[in-house]
Structure 1
Amino acid sequence: MFPSSSLVNLMQGIDTNNTKMFHLRPGQLFQGVITQIYPGQLAQLKLGGMTITAKLEAQLQKGSRYWFQVLGGDGLPRLKVLENVSPLEKNSAPLLQQIGLTKGEVQEKVMTELIRDQIPFSPKQVKDGIALVQQSSRNNQDSINLLIQLIKRGLPISKETFICLETLYSQQSFGETIGKLKNSLQDSGLFRTFPQLYHLLQNLHFRNVSSSDETVQIIKEQITTASLLHLFERVGLKGMPMNDSRDILSRGELLKNLLLEFLQHSSPSTDNRLQAEFLIHRLTALQLLSVENNFVLQQMVMQLPLYFMGRYRDLTIQWQGKRNTSGEINGDYCRILFFLEMSYLADVIVDIQIQNRIISVTVYNEREKPQGIIDDLVPTLKESLSKLDYKLSTVIWKQPKIDPPTFINKVNDYQGVDIRI
């Protein structure tokens, strides 16, 4: 198995183009190293992999590491050097005291991970987040991981956000929950009261495979990514980029609204309520994971239920790319990630990178590469992609224990920022 579930990996994200996320907000704390000092009180700081151009208003030393606090004000952000807190100190107690928190196991773990990953944070984010971790029904480490992701992404540190993103750590299937709620509406007769919700749940089945012959073919397709041809068409790699994926996103928003209406205007059973609430929370979590930077860089996350071999599977698609002049994702330069759990192959991640309509495919799976099947089907994949005016460059199979994918949260394209210290 992978180190964590596919959706948790999705939450962490995969670096699209070695870009870095960087947003400084008033009140945040972070560690930085002075790497260069220039005339005119200018200097360079390093925060993680970011190089920051700064104006120095304090006497600092090249090569030294400091704790900084972001101050408010007009124009360029200003940074204050924190006193009485050594950046070389491994004990987090002085920093916890500085932000008004008592020492404790959860507090120390949160601070250790924030410092290790070099994530800017505010005292309020940490205080509110630790309270949520302590209230959570999940184990502390899962809850801490979730809190770190919320702070990384700049998402609200609230009970509602926490509950929604907790569903990403759940073993509950999105597709199976859709199926159960649909069947329950049918059995109880509520499908007559909520016909639009019932029909939408019924139509959300992405692919239904019942026969053993079809099942064998699906497994072969999933192993070699041949079925991605159909997915390409569904997510927009066929003439009109993003039309189908936008349709999927709009259906997700419609489903969420209909589920809210279902809860507000009926007295559902306990099971129905729990199923509807789970779906609402999962849909909200996927919306939170979809980000847009200045209407240029887009990351969209979708989840589709499949049904084959007698059970539901959740197919998660993450689309990353830049918008073109018409406002659509540029299908010539983008990245698509597919996450799927299968009975025989277990977790499968397919990473498709497109540069100038040249496609490279990397499959992450723990099993040995099925070379014979791949050799048989890659020519068909090349031919089919050629009909869509795409060229297949490589198909690479990687085993995570040997060639682990780098899961990090960098999705924006900031290269640097001017700040005043």
Structure 2
Amino acid sequence: MIQLYDLLVNRSLSSSFSGMITFREGQLLTGKITDLFLDGTAAVQLKNGVFTAKLETALEKGKTYVFEVVSARSGEQPVLKSSDSLAHDRDWPKLLQKMELKNTSEHLRALSFLDEEGLPLTKGLVTASALLMKHSDNSEPKLDRAVLQKLSDLQLQPSKAVVMGLKNAMQGTHIQDDMQVLFDTLKNSDLRFPAASKTAALLKDYLFLQQSEENQENPQMKTRVPSSIQPVENFTAAAGVKESSSSMERPAEKHLLLSAGEKNGPALTQAVKEFFKQTFEQFIKTSGIHHEHQLLKPLPDKGDPADSLKMVLLALIEDKEAPPAVKMQAEHLISKVTGLQLLNMPAPADHSQQIYMQIPLPEGTFAKHLSIIWEGKKNKNNILDKDFCRIWLWLELEELKQLGVDINVQNKVMAITFFSSYQGIEILAQHAAEELKPYMSEMGYQLSSVSFKQHSGAQQAGTLSEKNQHLRTLDVKI
């Protein structure tokens, strides 16, 4: 499975994942002086650009110093100044003393990492960077940088739960895989105490709803899922999707796909739309993603927040009967939910918003995983402007494997790009695109283009730069 961090970093428009720094007054940054001017200012090269600095002490061109942000007004270039007490070339012990932090090897390593990555030198980020180094099994500099920058943008106080929650949400497995591991652990342990039974039942609803004959906790969902999946199965059976993808390029197979689309296309579109809509709404309501927010207001008709996934997991951890292996898996899943909560927090000083979700899909459906990123500027009502936004969907499908959908909306004009290793994806999507045009028109949107790009999932291990190069060399416009 592709790492969530790959989606956030490689496709994101927001500053937290694009490498841009959000300047705030009082921040300390290291920069190299590239030019000196007669008015007592200097050009300072930072990680993300060249900025103007007011010099308070004599500095040398070509050397690197610590600067303080003294002005960071929106829409204006930030103004930096040199500090008399910190105008030494990377005097980390003195800086730690100023931050009232101990001069330890962990803090020195953390400062060096922030310096190398061009991040602000703050007490909070030094502490957070040290926590990442201490509690991470392996170091991934680009991922750690994104975690620290997101922490800085959200202006959060660092703690192990916050820092590792962000990292767990941005890296590694999908939340559905973490649910599966905990469910298997509970099942194999044959635990009978109430907290274990309640957790297992809730996880079963997420993971095996359409297959579990004995599961009667949610009969409405039990009957809904098969009815939504049936049109999809009809289409794939008629289209011969389970055959080799290379065979879909043959004229006979193309005709078969087009015929299947004409016959089952409308039912397929409606089924998929309804399935994802209801699955998304159910997960938002029951996962605990917005649990802390919900506790602050009355819930007369919205159910008991104690039934959310997060609260059920917390109860499981606190139960004395829970064995260490179960508690460890539950803590990891809670960390993932916490990270998703943090990723969806708006940055206080940012006029843009990013919504990121991982949605678990029941086993046996046409899809395994779903990840969604929605980014855009806020309108005058302080909500996302749906007329100017970017939506990135990533699905792990049973037959088509990895499928990415990049939706770019500018002034209600929509461009859609599909990424897939499946050779016949453009044929499968042809009828869906035609049906999408009038539907978009009814809502006041215009579909300007639908394009397709090949993407191979074979090179999932390796660096981000390797993955980006792999994508570029395989781009094919159809």
TM-score by length of 1: 0.67
The code of the aligned residue for 1:49 comes to: N
- How many Å separate the matches in 1 of 2:369 and 2:286? 14
Which structure 2 residue ranges, 5 or more long, are not aligned? 74-78, 97-102, 210-220, 246-260, 262-267, 292-307, 456-467, 474-478
Change in Cα spacing, 1:278 to 1:128, as seen in structure 2 (3 Å) is: closer
Q: Secondary structure at the match of 2:346?
A: strand
Which has the larger Rg?
2
Q: Which residue of 2 aligns with 1:22?
A: 22
The equivalences for 1:47-66 within 5 A come to: 47-50=46-49, 52-59=51-58, 64=62, 66=64
The residue aligned with 2:333 is: 279
Q: Structure 1 208/245 Cα, relative in aligned 2: closer, same or farther at 3 Å?
A: closer
Q: For the structure 1 residues 208 and 179, does the alpha-carbon distance in structure 2 shift closer, same or farther, using more than 3 Å as the test?
A: farther
Aligned to 1:67: 65
- Stretches of structure 1 that go unaligned for 5 or more consecutive residues are 86-93, 236-241, 406-421
Q: How big is the shift at 1:366?
A: 4.7
Q: Is 1:292 paired with 2:292? A: no
Q: 2:205 aligns with which of 202, 205, 208?
A: 202
Q: Is the 8 A contact 2:55 2:81 kept in 1?
A: no
Q: Is the 8 A contact 1:226 1:377 kept in 2?
A: yes
Aligned to 1:164: 165
CA gap 1:127/1:189 in 2 versus in 1, 3 angstroms: closer
CA distance, structure 1, for counterparts of residue 196 and residue 62 of structure 2: 67
Query: Quick one: higher RCO (CA 8 Å, sep 6+), 1 or 2?
Result: 1
Q: Alignment partner for residue 213 of structure 1, among 233, 251, 262?
A: 233
What is the match of residue 415 of structure 2? 360
Aligned position for 1:255:
309
Residue in 2 aligned with 1:230? Answer: 273
Distance 1:264 1:97, change over 3 A: closer
TM-score calculated relative to the size of structure 2? 0.60
Percent of residue pairs identical: 21
Check the 8 A contact 1:382/1:391 in 2, yes or no: yes
SS at match of 1:293: coil
2:255 aligned partner: none
User: Separation in 1 of the partners of 2:396 and 2:384?
Assistant: 27
Partner of 2:377: 322
**Which stretch shifts more, 321-330 or 264-273?**
264-273
Structure 1, 271-280 or 333-342: larger mean CA deviation: 271-280
Moved more, 292-301 or 364-373: 364-373
The Cα shift of 1:272 comes to 3.9
1:388 deviates by 3.1
Pair 1:190–1:244, CA change in 2 (3 A): closer
- Kindly report which structure 2 residues correspond to 1:118-133, keeping only aligned pairs within 5 A, or say none: 118-122=118-122, 125-126=125-126, 129-130=129-130, 132-133=132-133
Contact 1:28–1:69 (CA<8 Å) still a contact in 2?
yes
Q: Classify 1:380/1:65 alpha carbon distance in 2 versus 1 (closer, same or farther; 3 Å).
A: farther
Q: Displacement of 1:129 after TM fit?
A: 2.8
Structure 1 Cα separation of the partners of residues 166 and 24 of structure 2: 24
SS at 1:330 equivalent: strand
Match of 2:83 among 69, 80, 85: 80
Whether the aligned pair in 1 keeps the contact of 2:169 and 2:337 (CA below 8 Å) is: no
Structure-2 separation of matches of 1:130 and 1:260: 26
State the match for 2:147 in structure 1: 150
- Which 10-residue stretch deviates more, 336-345 or 297-306? 336-345
Q: In 1, are the aligned partners of 2:199 and 2:313 still within 8 Å (CA)?
A: no
Greater share of helix residues, 1 or 2?
Answer: 2
Q: Which amino acid aligns with 1:361?
A: I
Matched, 1:268 2:329: no
Provide the alpha-carbon RMSD of the alignment. 5.1
C-alpha displacement at 1:325, in angstroms?
3.2
CA distance in 1, matches of 2:395, 2:233: 21
Give the drift of 1:284.
0.7
Q: Residue 348 of structure 1 corresponds to which residue in structure 2?
A: 403
Counterpart of 1:238 in structure 2 is none
C-alpha separation between the residues in 2 aligned to 1:36 and 1:391?
52
